Amino acid sequence: MRLSHSRGAQPDPASLQGFDPVRLEGDVPVPTPDAISSLRPFGRDVPAPFLGPEIPAGTAPADRPLASARALLERGRRLEAILVLEQAVHERPDDVPSRALLADALARTGELEAAIEHLTAALARTPNRADLLTARGAFHAQQGRTAEAERDLQAAARSDPTYWLAYRYLGSTRLRRGVPDDAVPVLRQAVRLAPDDPDAGLALGEALSVTGATDEALTILEGVAARHPKDPRPWTLMGRLFDRWGRSDDAMAMHRRAREISAA
Domain for residue 120, yes or no? yes
pLDDT value for 59: 61
SS (H, E, C) the chain: CCCCCCCCCCCCHHHHCCCCCCCCCCCCCCCCCCCCHHHCCCCCCCCCCCCCCCCCCCCCHHHHHHHHHHHHHHCCCHHHHHHHHHHHHHHCCCCHHHHHHHHHHHHHCCCHHHHHHHHHHHHHHCCCCHHHHHHHHHHHHHCCCHHHHHHHHHHHHHHCCCCHHHHHHHHHHHHHHCCHHHHHHHHHHHHHHCCCCHHHHHHHHHHHHHHCCHHHHHHHHHHHHHHCCCCCHHHHHHHHHHHHHCCHHHHHHHHHHHHHHHHC
In a domain, 151, yes or no: no
Residue 85 belongs to a domain with what CATH number?
1.25.40.10
Residue 103 within any structural domain of the chain = yes
pLDDT of residue 62: 64
Please indicate, yes or no, if residue 249 is contained in any of the structural domains.
no
Residue 172 covered by a domain = no
Mean pLDDT split into 10-residue runs, the chain, 264 residues: 46 39 40 43 40 53 80 90 92 92 93 96 94 95 94 97 96 94 97 96 95 94 96 95 92 95 91
Q: Is residue 99 part of a domain?
A: yes
Residue 24: predicted pLDDT: 37
Is residue 73 domain-resident?
Answer: yes
The domain of 106 spans 62-127
**Residue 142 domain flag:** no
Please give the tally of structural domains in the chain. Answer: 1
